[in-house]
């Protein structure tokens, strides 16, 4: 590995390029039901995986793997695992929230033409990883960065992504045959979309609202606003 390195010019974004980045950020949505049947080919999928693989990671650990699922049989098993967990989830909400919860569509596992399970190999970097010495969970956070890279790149490709996390511990691991030390971080449903909500679907359907940013920002410590 070369140890000689000099930074090169950072290269400014044009106004148009900058606008495109923000457009991807602000118009990205979690998609559950707008997937079209248009197939997601290996070429575009390769671009999305490359985007994910260029995410930051603790100590450059790159702890992720990408399991591409096109098999209807595997998707059916995963949908079954979701349904079992979702019935338990509904029972956890209070009587006044439960009817709305149960009415929400929270996955598009069978509709999406392709799914991805993004995993984290907790042992990839060996026992001591730069940046993870005092915070072992940093590999999981790194994997989430890969998810977000993919989510934004997918938006630019016209592909919607839906993250499904309502699974009992171990179900995805068993269905996908994950080895010891590899944990499933995200089940993502992918498909081309023609329409997207202009705000989070959970907001449009009255479940939650975006918090005002001003209330979340402090200066120089917890408590000093402005």
Ligand X SMILES: Cc1cc2c(cc1C)N(C[C@H](O)[C@H](O)[C@H](O)COP(=O)(O)O)c1[nH]c(=O)[nH]c(=O)c1N2
The reply on whether position 32 binds ligand X by CB under 6 A is yes
> Cβ(191)–Cβ(31) under 8 Å?
yes
- Compute how many other C-beta atoms are within 10 angstroms of the C-beta atom of residue 201: 19
State in angstroms the smallest separation of the CB of 79 from ligand X.
12
The reply on whether position 200 binds ligand X by CB under 6 A is yes
Q: How many CA atoms lie within 13 A of 101 on its CB side?
A: 14
State in angstroms the smallest separation of the CB of 147 from ligand X.
8
Task: State which H helix or E strand residue 50 sits in.
Answer: helix 42-53
The reply on whether position 75 binds ligand X by CB under 6 A is no
Tokens of 27: 């118009």
Torsion of CA 169, 171, 177, 179, to 10 degrees: 0
| Residue choice 76, 165, 198, 204 for contact with ligand X (CB under 6 A) | 165
| Residue choice 116, 164, 172, 175 for contact with ligand X (CB under 6 A) | 164
Nearer to ligand X, 29 or 132 (CB): 29
Binding map of ligand X across residues 92-131, x = CB under 6 A, - = no contact: --------------xx------------------------
- Compute how many other C-beta atoms are within 10 angstroms of the C-beta atom of residue 123: 14
| Residue choice 124, 163, 171, 176 for contact with ligand X (CB under 6 A) | 163
Ordered DSSP codes for 9-39? ---PPPHHHHHHHHHHHHH--B-SS-B-S--
- How many of the chain's residues bind ligand X (CB under 6 A)? 12
Binding site for ligand X (CB under 6 A): 29-30, 32, 106-107, 163-166, 200-202
């Amino acid at each position: 590995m070369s140890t000689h390195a000099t930074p090169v010019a950072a290269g400014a974004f044009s106004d148009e390029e900058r606008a495109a980045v923000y457009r991807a950020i602000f118009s990205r949505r979690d998609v559950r039901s707008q997937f079209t049947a248009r197939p997601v080919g290996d070429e575009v999928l390769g671009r999305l995986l490359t985007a994910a693989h260029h995410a930051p990671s603790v100590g450059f650990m790159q702890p992720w793997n990408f399991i591409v699922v096109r098999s209807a049989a595997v998707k059916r098993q995963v949908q079954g695992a979701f349904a079992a967990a979702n019935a338990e989830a509904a029972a956890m909400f209070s009587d006044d929230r439960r009817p709305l919860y149960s009415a929400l569509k929270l996955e598009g596992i069978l509709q999406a033409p392709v799914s991805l399970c993004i995993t984290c190999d907790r042992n990839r970097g060996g026992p001591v990883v730069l940046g993870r010495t005092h915070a072992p969970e940093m590999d999981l956070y790194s994997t989430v960065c890969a998810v977000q890279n993919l989510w934004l790149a997918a938006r630019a490709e016209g592909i919607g992504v839906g993250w499904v996390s309502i699974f009992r511990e171990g179900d995805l691991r068993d269905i996908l045959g994950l080895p010891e030390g590899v944990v499933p971080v995200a089940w993502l449903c992918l498909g081309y979309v023609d329409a997207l909500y202009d705000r989070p679907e959970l907001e449009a359907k009255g479940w939650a609202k975006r918090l005002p940013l001003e209330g979340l920002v402090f200066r120089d410590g917890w408590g000093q606003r402005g």
